[in-house]
Structure 1
Amino acid sequence: MNAWLSLVLAILAEVIGTGALKASEGFSRLLPSVVVIGGYGVAFYFLSLTLKQIPVGIAYAVWSGAGTVLITLIGVLVFRQKIDLAGVVGIALIVAGVLVLNLLSSNSAH
């Protein structure tokens, strides 16, 4: 499997798991709790496949950065959480950092 596809699947599974973490209400609700455990299990599986071809620093930066951006969007859109200007700037800096790592780093696997 392509390493970047594995990384995308890892990111999506992590975002699903994190979204369900809020819905699990401290693991007091069964179905969301199962989704959390399954989501993180799938995420780490696909992340481990990614690490066969992409350096760990690059893979983890993309995984955590993209996950942070996506779960923030879910928080705003689904859970109606507020984000202020500082939050938007912070998210933009995360995106910029991931782009710099991927586009300019000699360690990035293209």
Structure 2
Amino acid sequence: MGGLIETSYAWLLVGLAVIAEITAALALRFSNGFTKPLPAVLALAAFGSAFYLVSLALVNLPVSTVYPVWAGGGTAGVALLGILMLKERAGLWKGIGVMLIVLGIVMLNLAAGGHGA
């Protein structure tokens, strides 16, 4: 049972890393090319946190699953929040792209047995 708890905890860290990655990308958007200190510092801190959390998750999970989940989750999350919060253009191709990213993440997890094994 200890392994399951470690694996679940590792996936929680990946989820938190995805949130940190999304936060960092959105903060970059508001940093105005790193000319606004608060969003710039937030972006750097969030990116640093994301890397740290992923490094911890990689102690118990394979990089071949974790990295695509982290990168894809961040990409899909930023795309969706850009559309919903920043009123960026949403089109058919963007929607299909986000769906393919999510499908890819699901397939990677299925291939890994759902627990990164």
TM-score tier by shorter-chain length is: over 0.9
Structure 1 ranges of 4+ moved more than 2 A? 104-108
The gaps in structure 2 that reach 5 residues or longer are 1-5
Q: CA deviation at 1:78?
A: 1.5
- The answer to whether the aligner puts 1:96 opposite 2:103 as a matched pair is yes
Distance 1:105 1:58 in 2: 7
How far does residue 104 in structure 1 lie from its aligned partner after superposition?
Answer: 2.5
Structure 1 vs Structure 2: percent identity of aligned residues? 38
Q: TM-score, normalised by structure 1?
A: 0.93
**Match in the other structure for 1:21:** 28
Return the match for 2:51 from 40, 44, 47: 44
Unmatched tracts of structure 1, length 5 or more: none
Q: CA RMSD in A?
A: 1.6
> What residue number does 2:62 align with?
55
Write the distance in 2 (CA, Å) between the matches of 1:78 and 1:105: 33
CA distance in 1, matches of 2:84, 2:14: 24
TM-score, with normalisation over the residues of structure 2? 0.88
Number of residues of Structure 1 aligned to a counterpart in Structure 2: 110
Shift of 1:45: 0.5
Letter matched to residue 46 of structure 1: L
